[in-house]
Amino acid sequence: AGCTYVKKESIPATGHSYTNGTCTVCGEGEPAVPTYVTSVTPGIAYKLGMYSTPNAAEYYFSGTIINNYYGATDTNYGNGVDVYVEQTTGGYYLSFINSSNQKQYINVVASGDYRNFTIGSTASTVYTWDATKNTLKTTVSGDVCYIGNYDAYTSLNILKSSKLTDSNYLARFYVMGDGAQDAPSDTPDTPAVCTHSYNT
């Protein structure tokens, strides 16, 4: 007695509809999307990512090594660790800060016939820029090597140039927006997805 009930009904979210960079539904600005760069600059925060054609998705290095030689990845840009290039004699070192706030270098080592992706507290791999592929490469035991993978695999691995085929994809350096580079302290958000839930 004395209670008043109001029926609420959920309707599906409309989703964003952008015109000239602004959503006509809610007025939110269009989010920036990750783009790869065609050169690298020491001291800039990048994401080390690769686009997998078989999976139609972008994958970013998350800072974890699987089985001591695969780099774990995540499709969420914000979950990718910031990767830095450091100038050194003959090229660059690659590094990131792990979850324990320790600097880790991304190295490539020979293991029999294989070339493995590893991380450690000491830099042992010098990379040079490959302007034709917009990525870094290195030479290990006579093999020109790239960070990447093939087929539908999504972890970062090492590909010898002699094994490159059309099904390979190479890791490149990404930033948010139209090539504007993020400061090292920035933590870009993942491009937004409209999650409105309206009640009439």
Encode pLDDT of 164-178 as tens digits: 877 789 999 999 864
Give me the mean pLDDT over the 181-198 stretch. 46
Q: Give yes or no for residue 182 having a pLDDT over 60.
A: no
Residue 184 has what pLDDT? 38
CA nearest to 60, candidates 78, 42, 43: 78
Encode pLDDT of 29-47 as tens digits: 777 778 899 999 998 999 9
Encode pLDDT of 137-148 as tens digits: 999 999 999 999
C-alpha to C-alpha distance for 172 and 87, rounded to whole angstroms: 17
Give 70's contacts (C-beta < 8 A, 6+ positions apart). 117, 155, 156, 157
Q: What is the pTM of this model?
A: 0.74
Give me the mean pLDDT over the 105-127 stretch. 93
Residue 18 has what pLDDT? 77
Q: What is the mean pLDDT of the chain?
A: 84
What is the biggest distance separating any 2 CA atoms in the chain, rounded to whole angstroms? 86
